[in-house]
């Protein structure tokens, strides 16, 4: 502003007329400048007699307009205090001005200018240097809110610094009456800022200089607000006895504020995040902000050489721009998306707000451009996320705090048999009846506390089908509202697979446990990981009792593996190992196979052990040896029987001959005894031959009572020697049965011999009671002794092959096992009843009518 007034002052001073110039020269000079000239006749009456010919070009009014209507000059002359009706021109003997003023314009806004007045040759010459119309420009804003003050603010100071006067306009502009600031009061009243006081003091110091000096000072209004004055200072009446400093100014507070707002606006525009482009009607850039330059990578001067078509990939030709311009003019406002191209050729997605405006008879487009790359990427991500959720195989359901379903993806409503709108009209309880409002309230509290939780439950479809699910509930808060996002997985197939796996596992477990051979698995630390029932049975324990225990502790009762342990060899060599051994702790013979267990990388995970029990095999081998020996003994017994039959035949024959002779009675009795004993001995030999002789199996009608007596005859000697008394209770009406005579004899003989053995061992004497009777469609034979009896454990094993409780060498453990097999082959049953200390009773039940063979 200071520079503006400086320029104005220079132009005005150049228009000041020298005292020596003639009026014609003055007028000639005025015609070629931007200065309007008005000449007043100072003789009575005071009137306008001249207006310069350049007024139409400057104010729009013709000189005749001013001459015919001098009132047009009222607003111009007011700042100088000149009134055409009452003014006395004597005060203008000393030139007055320049004074800021405004010139009414016929074309619109007033002109700004400066007024110079001087009395010359009896005439008052007023020169008004015109600046131009008050309008929008980069440095000054128009006065939109109120019209500019045309009257100047005038104050005067005496040379000693006392305030001499202040006009009414000054009082109104500052809020201080002249009485409150007159004299020295102006320095302490608070109206003048410190820099204003210093500036006035400086002007007073230059009181000898009668030139016009511009100034701009800051005042403090009485209400505390800041106001600004701009004007000129001049020494009035220099060289006289009463000179004074006169300050003529105008209030530029609004201009200052507007200027500040203009600077702030430009500052904000330059630093705006959005790019701003000003273009003309042809699409050429006329201005841009810094964000526009930065976004496209251009320098400002380079960007201002371009057009919209150079950077926009959708408006690529002048024809495109013209269509866009016409559309913008028709609507005055457009909001759309486009793609800009930066200096490197890269694409930038943008959102554009275009505004059409007219200014100073020119058309412009102001485009505010926002980079929406992140938004586009976010939208793309959001679309992808929405697409993924909508097409997810899992069911996704959104529920509010009240348990109302407010959203669901396609899988959710299709799996449940609803439409989207139908499902969103339901509550959680509608699709999960167990989730009552009370239950939901509890679950919601838990969800809000834990943020998320998982559970397994079931949903009910529209047609009532039960759908097993896994659900992960997630607590969400969005825009102050709480939600539950439930991700639901249909686990029907998993349930079916799980059931099949359980069934397969159960089948495997049953198969594993029913393997007759011992099977167990060890890890690399010798811990038993799995064992079947055969293993537990061999150890007389439950499988769970031996799991995770060391195999060497369980089997061998040691605290470390044995030397050359085959498990270690199998793990190290990764080859199958075989070993036969006798386990003393359980008195069994085993053949063990050890196979390494390897993962897919060939690393050892442990070993699997299969133990085949060879104990029975070893017993059978031993029994075969005994059987072979018995066969040899039988052959020897047959030979001996034949050898004994010859002398016995002679003894019997001669004893019978002697009995025919008449001998003394005592000799006769002795010979009779010899004959009887010889006959008995012959009968024993016949029975021995019959027992030892090999017989082919054959069934015939057998009287079991007769057979019992035959067996007792064979055992008679042992019974007498061992003091064993035989009691028979045989049913005389016992029917015959179809059986193998010699096999039945073997069974009875074996049971009776066992009873004799245990009676003798326990008591040295005892009783055996043998009974026979009819029992339904069977006959029953019972053999009861008063021996030591048997425990339950022994009773359960007496028919097992090679099981015996006799001393070594006294039995093979095959007698009862063979007898059990014989009776079973005959369609009957062989069983026993006993308890410790109360003897034992064996029962033989045989069918009267045997089943067809």
304-314 per-position pLDDT tens digit = 999 999 999 99
Predicted confidence at residue 293, as pLDDT, reads: 94
Predicted confidence at residue 145, as pLDDT, reads: 32
Domain final position from 688, 721, 747? 688
How is 466-527 classified by DSSP, letter by letter?
EEEEEEEEEEEEETTEEEEEEEEEE-HHHHHHHHHHHHHHHHHHHHHHH-SSEEEEEETTSB
Task: Kindly state whether residues 720 and 684 are assigned to the same domain.
Answer: no
Task: Kindly state whether residues 642 and 601 are assigned to the same domain.
Answer: no
Task: Let me know: does 169 contact 155? Beta carbons within 8 Å.
Answer: no
Among residues 11, 107, 100, the alpha carbon closest in space to that of 59 is found at 107
Task: Kindly state whether residues 632 and 653 are assigned to the same domain.
Answer: yes
Among residues 377, 376, 370, the alpha carbon closest in space to that of 354 is found at 370
Inside any domain, residue 345:
yes
Among residues 616, 403, 659, the alpha carbon closest in space to that of 517 is found at 616
Task: Let me know: does 840 contact 833? Beta carbons within 8 Å.
Answer: yes
Kindly give, in sequence order, each residue whose CB lies less than 8 Å from that of residue 638, ignoring residues fewer than 6 positions away: 689, 692, 693
Joined together, the tokens standing for residue 37 give: 């000239």
Task: Let me know: does 744 contact 704? Beta carbons within 8 Å.
Answer: yes
Joined together, the tokens standing for residue 224 give: 């505390």
pLDDT, mean of residues 56-77: 84
Domain final position from 662, 688, 714? 688
Tens-digit pLDDT profile for residues 667-684: 887 787 787 777 767 766
Alpha carbons 244 and 267: distance in angstroms, whole number: 44
In this predicted structure, the answer to whether residue 135 has a pLDDT above a threshold of 60 is no
Distance from the Cα of residue 61 to its chain's centroid: 82
Least confident among 49-53, 207-211, 706-710: 207-211
Kindly give, in sequence order, each residue whose CB lies less than 8 Å from that of residue 783, ignoring residues fewer than 6 positions away: 748, 751, 752, 755, 768, 769, 770, 841, 842, 844
Task: Kindly state whether residues 784 and 701 are assigned to the same domain.
Answer: yes
Q: Which long-range contacts (CB under 8 A, 24 or more apart) does 435-441 make?
A: 435/403, 437/403, 440/403
pLDDT, mean of residues 650-668: 78
Place of tokens 């053999």: 783
Task: Kindly state whether residues 655 and 776 are assigned to the same domain.
Answer: no
Task: Kindly state whether residues 758 and 704 are assigned to the same domain.
Answer: yes
Task: Kindly state whether residues 354 and 426 are assigned to the same domain.
Answer: no
Alpha carbons 404 and 440: distance in angstroms, whole number: 11
Joined together, the tokens standing for residue 211 give: 């030139």
Alpha carbons 597 and 287: distance in angstroms, whole number: 82
Inside any domain, residue 141:
no
Inside any domain, residue 509:
no
**Total structural domains in the chain?**
7
Task: Let me know: does 592 contact 610? Beta carbons within 8 Å.
Answer: yes
Joined together, the tokens standing for residue 108 give: 């619109």
Local confidence band at 146 (pLDDT 50, 70, 90 cut-offs): very low
Predicted confidence at residue 149, as pLDDT, reads: 39
Joined together, the tokens standing for residue 533 give: 């029932």
Task: Kindly state whether residues 283 and 253 are assigned to the same domain.
Answer: no
Alpha carbons 623 and 365: distance in angstroms, whole number: 120
More confident residue, 291 or 811: 291
Alpha carbons 444 and 347: distance in angstroms, whole number: 48
More confident residue, 557 or 223: 223
Domain final position from 564, 590, 613? 613
The residues facing 522 across adjacent strands are 528, 607
- What's the CATH number where 455 sits? 3.30.450.20
Tens-digit pLDDT profile for residues 574-583: 888 888 878 7
Task: Kindly state whether residues 723 and 837 are assigned to the same domain.
Answer: yes
Inside any domain, residue 285:
yes
Task: Kindly state whether residues 681 and 701 are assigned to the same domain.
Answer: no
Inside any domain, residue 609:
yes
Predicted confidence at residue 299, as pLDDT, reads: 94
Predicted confidence at residue 138, as pLDDT, reads: 33
In this predicted structure, the answer to whether residue 461 has a pLDDT above a threshold of 80 is yes
Task: Let me know: does 225 contact 218? Beta carbons within 8 Å.
Answer: no
Among residues 726, 700, 722, 698, the alpha carbon closest in space to that of 711 is found at 726
Inside any domain, residue 272:
no
More confident residue, 100 or 83: 100
Local confidence band at 769 (pLDDT 50, 70, 90 cut-offs): very high
> What pTM was computed for the model?
0.39
Range of the domain at 668: 619-688
Joined together, the tokens standing for residue 11 give: 């132009």
Residue 180's H or E segment, with its range, is helix 178-181
Greatest alpha-carbon span in the chain: 228
Inside any domain, residue 174:
yes
Least confident among 116-120, 183-187, 365-369, 372-376: 116-120
pLDDT, mean over the chain: 81
In this predicted structure, the answer to whether residue 14 has a pLDDT above a threshold of 50 is no
Residue 29's H or E segment, with its range, is helix 23-31
In this predicted structure, the answer to whether residue 36 has a pLDDT above a threshold of 70 is yes
In this predicted structure, the answer to whether residue 492 has a pLDDT above a threshold of 80 is yes
Inside any domain, residue 806:
yes
Kindly give, in sequence order, each residue whose CB lies less than 8 Å from that of residue 68, ignoring residues fewer than 6 positions away: none
pLDDT, mean of residues 825-845: 89
- What's the CATH number where 826 sits? 3.30.565.10
In this predicted structure, the answer to whether residue 395 has a pLDDT above a threshold of 50 is yes
Predicted confidence at residue 90, as pLDDT, reads: 57
In this predicted structure, the answer to whether residue 349 has a pLDDT above a threshold of 50 is yes
Alpha carbons 101 and 807: distance in angstroms, whole number: 150
Task: Kindly state whether residues 221 and 236 are assigned to the same domain.
Answer: yes
Task: Kindly state whether residues 643 and 743 are assigned to the same domain.
Answer: no
Place of tokens 């904000």: 268
Place of tokens 């440095």: 139
């Amino acid at each position: 502003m200071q520079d503006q007034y400086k320029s104005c002052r220079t132009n005005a001073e150049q228009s000041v007329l020298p005292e020596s110039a003639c009026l014609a020269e003055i007028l000639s000079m005025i015609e070629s400048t931007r200065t309007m000239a008005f000449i007043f006749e100072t003789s009575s009456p005071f009137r306008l007699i001249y207006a310069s010919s350049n007024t139409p070009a400057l104010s729009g009014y013709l000189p005749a307009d001013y001459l015919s209507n001098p009132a047009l000059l009222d607003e111009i002359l007011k700042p100088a205090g000149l009134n055409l009706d009452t003014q006395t021109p004597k005060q203008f003997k000393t030139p007055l001005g320049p004074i800021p003023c405004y010139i009414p314009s016929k074309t619109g806004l007033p002109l700004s200018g400066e007024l110079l007045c001087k009395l010359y040759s009896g005439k008052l010459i007023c020169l008004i240097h015109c600046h131009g119309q008050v309008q929008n420009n980069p440095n000054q804003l128009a006065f939109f809110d109120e019209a500019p003050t045309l009257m100047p603010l005038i104050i005067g100071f005496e040379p000693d610094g006392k305030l001499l006067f202040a006009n009414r306009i000054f009082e109104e502009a500052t809020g201080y009456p002249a009485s409150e600031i007159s004299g020295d009061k102006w320095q302490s009243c608070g109206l003048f800022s410190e820099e204003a006081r210093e500036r006035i003091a400086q002007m007073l110091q230059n009181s000898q200089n009668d030139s016009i000096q511009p100034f701009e000072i800051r005042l403090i209004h009485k209400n505390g607000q800041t106001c600004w004055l701009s004007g000129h200072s001049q020494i009035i009446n220099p060289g006289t006895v009463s000179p004074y400093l006169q300050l003529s100014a105008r209030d530029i507070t609004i201009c200052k504020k507007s200027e500040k707002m203009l600077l702030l606006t430009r500052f904000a525009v330059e630093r705006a995040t959005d790019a701003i482009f000003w273009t003309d009607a042809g699409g050429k850039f006329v201005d841009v902000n810094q964000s526009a330059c930065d976004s496209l990578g251009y320098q400002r001067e380079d960007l201002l050489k371009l057009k919209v078509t150079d950077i926009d990939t959708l408006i690529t030709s002048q024809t495109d721009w013209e269509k866009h311009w016409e559309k913008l003019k028709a609507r005055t406002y457009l909001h759309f998306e486009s793609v800009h191209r930066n200096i490197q050729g890269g694409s930038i997605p943008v959102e554009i707000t275009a505004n059409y405006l007219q200014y100073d008879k020119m058309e412009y487009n102001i485009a505010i451009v926002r980079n929406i790359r992140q938004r586009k990427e976010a939208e793309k991500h959001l679309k992808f996320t929405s697409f993924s959720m909508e097409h997810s195989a899992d069911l996704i359901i959104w529920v509010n705090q009240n348990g109302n379903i407010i959203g669901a993806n396609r899988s959710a409503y299709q799996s449940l048999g609803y439409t989207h709108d139908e499902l969103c009209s339901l509550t959680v309880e509608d699709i999960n009846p167990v989730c009552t409002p009370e239950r939901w309230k509890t679950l919601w509290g838990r969800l809000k506390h834990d943020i998320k939780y998982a559970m397994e439950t079931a949903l009910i479809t529209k047609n009532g089908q039960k759908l097993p699910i896994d659900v992960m509930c997630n607590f969400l808060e969005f825009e102050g509202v709480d939600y539950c996002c439930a991700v639901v997985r249909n686990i029907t197939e998993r349930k079916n697979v799980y059931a099949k796996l359980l069934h397969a596992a159960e089948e495997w477990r049953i198969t594993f446990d029913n393997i007759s051979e011992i099977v167990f698995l060890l890890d690399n630390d010798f811990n038993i990981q799995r064992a079947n029932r055969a293993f537990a049975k061999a150890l007389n324990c439950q499988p769970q009792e031996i799991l995770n225990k060391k195999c060497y502790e369980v089997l061998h009762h040691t605290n470390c593996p044995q030397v050359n342990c085959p498990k270690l060899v199998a793990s190290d060599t990764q080859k199958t190992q075989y070993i036969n051994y006798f386990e003393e702790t359980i008195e069994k013979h085993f053949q063990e196979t050890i196979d390494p267990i390897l993962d897919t990388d060939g690393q050892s995970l442990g070993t699997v052990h299969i133990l085949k029990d060879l104990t029975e095999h070893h017993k059978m081998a031993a029994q075969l040896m005994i059987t072979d020996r018995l066969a040899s003994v039988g052959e020897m017994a047959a030979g001996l029987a034949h050898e004994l039959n010859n002398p016995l035949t002679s003894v019997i024959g001669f004893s019978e001959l002697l009995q025919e002779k008449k001998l003394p009675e005592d000799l006769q009795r002795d010979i009779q005894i010899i004959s009887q004993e010889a006959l008995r001995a012959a009968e024993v030999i016949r029975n021995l031959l019959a027992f030892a002789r090999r017989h082919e199996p054959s069934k015939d009608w057998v009287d079991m009572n007769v057979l019992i007596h035959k067996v007792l005859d064979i055992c008679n000697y042992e019974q007498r020697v061992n003091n064993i008394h035989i009691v028979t209770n045989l049913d005389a009406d016992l029917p015959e049965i179809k059986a193998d005579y010699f096999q039945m004899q073997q069974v009875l003989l074996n049971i009776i011999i066992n009873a004799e053995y245990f009676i003798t061992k326990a008591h040295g004497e005892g009783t055996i009671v043998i009974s026979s009777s009819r029992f339904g469609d069977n006959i029953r034979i019972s053999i009861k002794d008063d021996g030591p009896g048997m425990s339950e454990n022994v009773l359960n094993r007496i028919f097992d092959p090679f099981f015996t409780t006799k001393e070594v060498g006294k039995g093979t453990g095959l007698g009862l096992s063979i007898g059990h097999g014989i009776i079973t082959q005959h369609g009957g049953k062989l069983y026993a009843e006993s308890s410790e200390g109360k003897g034992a009773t064996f029962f033989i039940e045989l069918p009267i009518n045997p089943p067809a063979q």
